[in-house]
Homo-oligomer: A and B are copies of this chain.
Amino acid sequence: MNNSRITEMICPIPLSDHPEITMAHGGGGRLMNDLIDRIMLKAFTNPILDKRHDGAAIAVGEGRLAFATDSHVITPLFFPGGDIGALSVYGTVNDLAMCGADARWLSAAFIIEEGFSMKTLWKVVLSMAEASLKTGVSIVTGDTKVVDRGKGDGIYINTAGIGIIPAGVDIAPSRIREGDAVVLSGDIGRHGIAVMAIREGIQLESTIRSDLAPLDSMAGDLLREGLDIHCMRDLTRGGLASGLNEIASMTDCSIRIEENLIPVHDEVLGACEILGFDPLYVANEGRFVVILPRENGDRAVEILRRHDNGRQAEIIGFVEKPSYADVLMISSIGSERIIDMLSGEQLPRIC
């Protein structure tokens, strides 16, 4: 492909249907996936990117590196259980952990709105420093930009991270096989509900705290114990439903889960009812799924349960032959339901 051909390419999203970016294009659902598939992947196509993992696995010399990035635009900046600083470190550490990598180095890039409080900046930066220390990553390079008042929203933080993938580890959705177990690391929906409750001013019986947490030690333990992990994915924007759909779409299989096996805290369920959300689609920041051979499923659950954040780990389903839908769920009353990707926008600016 020569350069003139590139700039002449026609936009693959019909501009009559989608002339403008909408909030849903960032929501983690179908429109966001469409944007990424048809715009970003189309223009930037290369074998590493086309794998569509949370991070990129790169061969360098004898070894392999993982490379991931996330921008954080969450509002409010502080929420029960965390803040944008910790989120920006754990977000990228978790993406690297999902590649089976040991996260080592981060970049930190700040887009700050004119008039932002210096004291708050310091608080956010210290929270990043603390999160880095906890996860053993070093912030080694960075950038700071300031935009005019009214052209930002306090602070946006991007981090990119590099991790080292140990020899022998090969995690990729393409390795998923019929019969594999789907293990969920804990109860779902806390992060999204914690943020929405504070944003919408909803009073709950007790404050729901975000599940924000680093996943590196749980993922690392699974690998150190020698489990043959086929795929891992953290369940951020779009929640469990979108995560499973993204995985299933990259395989020839379907995933079938059981509603009764998915842990959801009562308070989260209650808040979801008030807000009209389905917990399957609510963002998490400290939960992930592991897909691995059925015979390793129980062992994975046992290892995850050793961790504070993994006490409620469960096998929630299995990978099956291709079916009429990518993801199916047996509901609590025994009926089968298609779990589709979110089509619109549920929770804006949740991460």
Q: Tell yes or no: A331 within 8 A of B by CB.
A: no
Chain B residues whose CB sits within 8 angstroms of the CB of A224 once the complex forms: none
**Given A6-B130, A48-B138, A105-B56, is A71 in contact with B145 using a C-beta cutoff of 8 Å?**
yes
In-complex Cβ contact of A21 among B20, B68, B115, B160 (8 A) = B115
Report how far A115 CA is from B67 CA in the complex, Å.
30
Contact A151 B148 (CB under 8 A): no
Q: Tell yes or no: A204 within 8 A of B by CB.
A: no
Report how far A127 CA is from B9 CA in the complex, Å.
11
Contact A128 B43 (CB under 8 A): yes
Contact B143 A7 (CB under 8 A): no
CB distance from A112 to the nearest CB of B (A): 5
Q: Tell yes or no: A133 within 8 A of B by CB.
A: yes
Q: Tell yes or no: A107 within 8 A of B by CB.
A: yes
In-complex Cβ contact of A148 among B23, B116, B129, B147 (8 A) = B23
Report how far A311 CA is from B346 CA in the complex, Å.
55
Contact with B along A280-296 (1 / 0, CB 8 A): 00000000000000000
Interface of A, secondary structure class, is mixed
In-complex Cβ contact of A109 among B48, B71, B114, B152 (8 A) = B71
Contact B61 A118 (CB under 8 A): no
A218-258 residues with Cβ-Cβ distance < 8 A to B are: none
Supply 26 A–B pairs (Cβ within 8 Å), ascending by A: A3-B130, A6-B129, A7-B126, A11-B122, A19-B117, A20-B114, A20-B118, A21-B121, A24-B146, A25-B144, A26-B144, A26-B146, A44-B125, A44-B138, A49-B139, A55-B141, A58-B162, A60-B164, A65-B65, A65-B162, A67-B107, A68-B141, A71-B111, A107-B160, A147-B153, A158-B160
Q: A22-B114, A46-B139 are in contact. List 19 more A-B contacts (CB 8 A).
A: A3-B134, A6-B129, A6-B130, A6-B133, A7-B127, A20-B116, A21-B113, A21-B121, A23-B114, A26-B145, A48-B105, A49-B142, A53-B141, A67-B140, A67-B162, A70-B109, A71-B145, A107-B160, A109-B158
